[in-house]
A = this chain, B = another copy of it.
Amino acid sequence: MDRFLDHGAKWHGEGRVITAGGDGRDTLIGYAGLRDRANCLSGALLDLGLTPGDRVATLAWNTQHHVEIWYAAMGVGLVCHTLNPRLTVAHLAAMITQADDRVLAVGAGLQEMAEALLAACPRLERLILLDNVGPDVTHVDLEALLDTHGRPTAWGRFEETALAGLCFTSGTTGAPKGVAYTHRSNYLHTLRALQADSIALTNADAVLVAVPMFHANAWGLPFAAPAVGADLVLPNRVTDGASLARLIDHHQVTVAVGVPTVWLGLLDHLDAVGGETESLERIIIGGSSCPDSLLRRMEDRFGATVQTSWGMTELSPLGAISPRSDKPGAARGSGRPPLGLDLQLTDADGAPLPEQRNAVGHLKVKGQSVIERYFDATKTALDPDGWFDTGDLAILDDAGNLTLAGRSKDLIKSGGEWINPVEIEEIVGALPSIGLVAVIGRADPKWGERPLMVVEPARGHDIDDAALKATLKGRVADWWIPDRIVRVETMPLAATGKINKTLLRASYGGA
């Protein structure tokens, strides 16, 4: 990890980290300056009594201080555990306890939550306040720590397989699981991302990181950007359309990275108040699938190419990306795996599908920077041939482009045959009268499982069961059509915004 920033400081000293200020006054620092600060901060962390291998948690938005404490920790072999402030205190306390974090670095606006965590986690020793939130008599502030204990400190000097980071999965389909990254996996992931057909940052780029640093290391961008000297533009907490439009224009952003929702917000802002994103060359999206119509709208309005991608926390996270060199409008799905990663589709028993193209299968992944085991697991997460089961269903087109087709655990087994709820959800979800829809398996004494559909009608709409079933008739097999339909006022969502099927199954999955 230290290598990325060392390389940036030495060979790309003109590259900068730019953090959006709440008042529109952004802060800037060059990689050489950032490296010196992070390096001195390493010494201060050691002076707090931390030793290599200890965990340092962070609860913060995308800011310079957050980047600094990452490098300060990782540079001397401490393990940086990123926490998602959108989770509950109870969830975070469980993660902190499992990780055995000793210190928690806290960003602006999150101090109250951090105090609660400090109270809830007896082994958590102290908070470090980031983002210059002002004097505090109880907790130490990063700048004060630098002033009092900062000192140049040798980086490196650990094995390449030493842990560098820790991140818990979102847990939409089960308990959150800890994913540990090593210096080796982060390094190889960065090289995967820097490939010319991948995220492909260069010295001339300014990359807007609209994906949070607590989501799989912000897709590795705080590592990739200094490695090549690209400007790293951090939006802080705020990712609304107006704020992003200002950052893009003001800092001549060339590459913008985030989930589709964020860019929809930017589109709506530009359409409402006008403005252009002239510097923008590429948008890289991931995290969820994106309809072709939205892709085209983004490319037209932003005057930029959209690269789709797919990843998982367990992969560090990049798993596939539409090649930068693909012609605009190429059928792309979520792209293809860059060198360093391989994909395979299998049947439910794990046997590779004889034909790997144009057939839905269970998606397995193998390669560098795929985790070997979860943080607290004693068992490997890989099968004997080294494949990691993503838990996703997927299909590959003729060119090898990946499209996800649901979660394998969401599959419904009825009379010994599989029903894929995603296919039903897509048809019903397209109806204007439907807000959200989920199809789950309900225990059935005769068939094992039968599909049950939960719908949240669109505001001011409703639709009767017969009409819903008629919509599906002829578009899926008759025996796929749900027997029961349940209406809910509000669909239960997980912290990531995805529908919480675990909860639905608990409520409606019984016989």
Contact = CB atoms under 8 A, between A and B. Distances in A.
A100 to B, nearest CB: 31
A205 interface: yes
A197 to B, nearest CB: 4
A347 B403 CA distance: 56
A323 B203 contact: yes
Contacts of A4: 339
The main secondary structure of chain A at its interface with chain B is: loop
Tally of this chain's copies: 2
A339 B202 contact: no
A201 interface: yes
Contact of A339 (B198, B228, B323): B228
Given A191-B191, A191-B195, A339-B227, A204 B325 contact: yes
A7 B196 contact: no
Given A323-B203, A325-B203, A228 B195 contact: yes
B336 A11 contact: yes
A323 B12 CA distance: 11
A323 to B, nearest CB: 5
Contacts of A192: 191
B325 A202 contact: yes
A10 interface: yes
Interface string A1-40: 0011011001110000000000000000000000000000
A342 interface: yes
A300 to B, nearest CB: 23
B203 A7 contact: no
B339 A7 contact: yes
A324 B204 CA distance: 9
Interface in A315-332: 323-326
A194 interface: yes
A200 B196 contact: yes
A495 B379 CA distance: 57
A195 B197 contact: no
A217 interface: no
Contacts of A323: 202-204
A260 interface: no
Nearest to A340: B191
Given A202-B325, A204-B325, A324-B202, A339 B3 contact: yes
A307 interface: no
A337 interface: yes
Interface of A: 3-4, 6-7, 10-12, 188, 190-192, 194-198, 200-205, 227-228, 323-326, 336-340, 342, 400
19 contacts: A3-B339, A4-B339, A7-B342, A10-B400, A11-B337, A12-B400, A191-B192, A191-B340, A194-B194, A195-B195, A195-B196, A195-B228, A196-B200, A196-B228, A196-B324, A197-B203, A203-B323, A203-B325, A204-B326
Given A10-B342, A196-B202, A200-B200, 20 more contacts: A3-B339, A7-B339, A11-B336, A188-B191, A190-B339, A191-B194, A191-B339, A191-B340, A194-B195, A194-B339, A195-B196, A195-B228, A196-B196, A196-B228, A197-B203, A197-B228, A202-B325, A204-B323, A205-B325, A228-B339
